[in-house]
Every structure is written in structure tokens, then in C-alpha cells.
Amino acid sequence: MQKISFNLVEKNANVEIPENLIFGKVFSPHMFEMTYDESKGGWIDPQITKVDELALSPAAMVFHYGQAIFEGLKAFKQVDGKIAMFRPKDNFKRLNNSAERLCMPKVDSDFALEALKELVAVDKEWIPNRPGYSLYIRPVMFSTDPVLGVRPSDTYKLYFLLSPVGPYYPEGFKPVPILATDKYIRAAAKGVGACKCAGNYAASLLAQKEAKQQGFSQVLWLDSIEQKYIEEVGTMNIFIQFKNEVVTPMLTGSILPGVTRMSVIQILKDWGYNMNERNVSIAEVVSAYDSGDLVEIFGTGTAAVISSLSKLKYHEKLMTFNENEAGELGKKLYAEITGIQYGKIPDRYGWLTFLDNV
Ligand SMILES: *Cc1c(COP(=O)(O)O)cnc(C)c1O
């Protein structure tokens, strides 16, 4: 395993994490970074260093051809003081899947995990110690060859940023109104929808903006071919609870395989729910709503964990669920997953990775 060099800023005795943390605006002082250089045999120069401005050529390939991927996961200070990360190996596996699809170099997952543990240990005082708070971890990789011309870059940069975050819904677990769109799609079949690549988010902004203008907080995305099947909600996976079945869209290649999605599927199966991954059309949801067969809908993702829908609008049809309160199943799942993350419920699936000696 390569040796990580440490280039730390002077230790600040008392870390002051701001009270009102806005998601993703505050960063810890250190990051892990390493460089990929094909001509030097691969990944080199791993270091934990100060978070600082980057110097990049204006010709750097990432600005022109968009080889950029990222991940999102969290570390928690648990009730007994231990520090745990939630399923980090799954995030590195997904990072490597994204890398492969975009002709970017893979990282050694074991090394990446060790590097991340070292980084979190260096900045462990930046993990807030309040209920609902955590340390959001953002791994990023992008191409850096200063060359115009469409081909895979020979050089890349990888870094991990740490951001202390508060609860996603500071006023409590609040359901959100969603607009189903067939005017735009998020990701095309056989494209890069299953990758966490930067371009997917740029492509989703206009739909998001138009939904906001109409008073909705997110978009519900339909499939790229017929705009018939439900895919995702905003940047979350979606679950629909019918009276006798819970459904999440099957992974067709244009859906991001969420770690939270995977966790929710497993928990629901263990709780004895009839949990299925299959195609589910927007027409099926409307008809279940009309017949009283629809119970609740929620999104899943690392940032919010569970996000219940208050309303869903599709064309002229407005469906309302839980006006002011999240649905029962969503609340139960939120309590279960965060309970495991904060060490209040035993980690029966082995989802947590603990920092050694911290
Ligand atoms: C990150 C992301 C998710 C959720 O994935 P998690 O691993 O659960 O955080 C879902 N959909 C999209 C489009 C995403 O980018």
C-alpha cells in the first residue's frame, strides 16, 4: 500500500462548527488528494493536505469534455463516541463503476478506504456531536490533461472533501411537493444515468428550476423512451407503497443505484414487506391513488436519508398524501437507518466501518 504524506495546517485548538449549518457550505481544513499520471504508472503522491484553491490549466479536459465523477457518503459520531462511516465500500465500488463507464482510472478501494479513515481521523473534531448532524464526505475525480481533443485524459485528480452538515430538514421531517415531468428526462437508456457523473446534474437543472417556479421542490423523472415508467425523484431513488406491496423501480441502467435504496430494500424485506424491484408506470400510481390503493411515496438518498412526498402532480392530476407529516413507513425507515448510523440500534448488517483507534 502506498504511503500517505501528511501536510497539515497548524492545529486549531478549539474547532467551532457554526450552529446553523447549511448543507455543503462549511468544509473541514483538510482533504485527501492524489494524482493519476499514466506516464508515471498510475496513482501517485497520495497526501492529506490543506483545503486550498486548485491550479488548473484553462485547457484542462474536464472543462471541455466533462470527465468528472463524484460520490457522497457520511461519517457519524455515535452515542458512545465512536466514529462510524455508513457503507463506504459501496461508495468506492460505485466510484469505480462510474470511472469505468467514463474511461477514467479506477482506484484501489482498500487504499481509498484507508486514506478516507486517515482523513476523517485528522479532522474528527469536525464531526458535529448533535442529533441529526454528521460529516458529509465528497470524493471527486476529474480529468486534467491540458489538451483540446476528445479522448480519455492521461492525467486525473482525486480528492475527498469533508463537510459538517446538519439535519436535511431542520424544521423536522417535512414532506415535499413533487412535479412529474415528461418535458425533460434525467438520463437516457444506455447512457450514464447509473453513474454519479457531473454532467447528469447539469442536465437536470432546467427541469428543477421550472418545477420550483411552479411551487414544487423536486422533479419526478420518467423513463427516457416513453416517459411512462417512474425512475427517480430529484437526486433520490423512489419507493412507492401500495396496500400490499412496496415497489422501487428496477435498475435499468438509467437509474443511479443508491446505497440508501439498497439498504431500504434489505430492511423492508427483513420486516416482511412484499418488497419488489420492478417497472412501475406513472399510470399505475395514478390509478392506485384513485382506487385508494396508494399508501405513501418517499425518496431515498444519503443527504436526507428518507424524504416523503406531500403532493405529486402529473399533467392535470394532483395527488396529495401527507400534507404536514411524513408517512408512517418513511418515518419508521428513517428511525431505523439513522438508529444504525448513530449506534442506537445494533449494526446487524455490518454496514458500519469504524475508525481504528479513535
Ligand atoms: C446519489 C444519488 C442517489 C442516492 O444515492 P445514495 O447512495 O443513496 O446517496 C439517487 N439518485 C441520484 C441521481 C443520485 O445522484
HSE at residue 88, side-chain half, CA atoms within 13 A, is 26
Q: What confidence tens digit (pLDDT) does each residue in 343-354 have?
A: 999 999 999 999
Check residues 52 and 173 and name the one with the higher pLDDT: 52
Report the interhelical angle of 88-101 vs 109-122 (nearest 10°). 130
What is the rounded distance in angstroms from the CA atom of residue 329 to the CA atom of residue 268?
10
Ligand 1 neighbourhood includes 196 CB (under 6 angstroms): yes
Q: What confidence tens digit (pLDDT) does each residue in 90-140 have?
A: 999 999 999 999 999 999 999 999 999 999 999 999 999 888 899 999 999
Report in angstroms the alpha-carbon separations of 151 from 89, 148, 167, 183: 29, 9, 41, 32
Ligand 1 neighbourhood includes 259 CB (under 6 angstroms): yes
pLDDT band at 356 (very low <50, low <70, confident <90, very high): confident
pLDDT of residue 1: 77
- Superfamily covering domain 176-338: D-amino Acid Aminotransferase, subunit A, domain 2 (3.20.10.10)
Q: What confidence tens digit (pLDDT) does each residue in 253-312 have?
A: 999 999 999 999 999 999 999 999 999 999 999 999 999 999 999 999 999 999 999 999
Ligand 1 neighbourhood includes 260 CB (under 6 angstroms): yes
What is the rounded distance in angstroms from the CA atom of residue 110 to the CA atom of residue 91?
12
Dihedral sign (CA 213, 216, 221, 225): negative
Q: What confidence tens digit (pLDDT) does each residue in 38-47 have?
A: 999 999 999 9
Which cell numbers in the block locate residue 22? 447549511
pLDDT band at 13 (very low <50, low <70, confident <90, very high): low
State in Å: Cα 202 to ligand 1 middle. 15
Provide the residue type at 54 as one letter.
L
Q: To the nearest whole number, what is the mean pLDDT of the chain?
A: 95
170: pLDDT strictly greater than 80: no
Residue intervals in the chain for CATH 3.20.10.10 = 176-338
14: pLDDT strictly greater than 80: no
Interacting residues of 168 by C-beta distance below 8 A, sequence separation 6+: 23, 303, 304, 305, 307
- Compute the average pLDDT of residues 325-334: 93
pLDDT of residue 173: 78
Q: Which of 15-19, 217-221, 308-312 has the lowest mean pLDDT?
A: 15-19
Please state, for a pLDDT cut of 70, what percent of the chain lies above it.
97
| Alpha helices, DSSP H, located in 40-172 | 61-65, 88-101, 109-122
Length of the chain: 358
State in Å: Cα 236 to ligand 1 middle. 5
Q: What CATH number matches the domain at 5-167, 3.30.470.10, 3.40.50.300, 3.40.50.880, 2.40.70.10?
A: 3.30.470.10
Please state, for a pLDDT cut of 90, what percent of the chain lies above it.
89
State in Å: Cα 196 to ligand 1 middle. 8
2: pLDDT strictly greater than 90: no
Interacting residues of 340 by C-beta distance below 8 A, sequence separation 6+: 86, 346, 347, 348, 349, 351, 352
State in Å: Cα 2 to ligand 1 middle. 30
Nearest of 226, 220, 223 to residue 207 by alpha carbon: 220
Taking the CA of residue 196 as reference, the ligand 1 atom at the shortest distance is: 15
Please tell me whether residue 104 adopts helix, strand or coil conformation: coil
12: pLDDT strictly greater than 70: no
pLDDT of residue 325: 81
Residue intervals in the chain for CATH 3.30.470.10 = 5-167
Ligand 1 neighbourhood includes 236 CB (under 6 angstroms): yes
Ligand 1 neighbourhood includes 232 CB (under 6 angstroms): yes
What is the rounded distance in angstroms from the CA atom of residue 293 to the CA atom of residue 240?
11
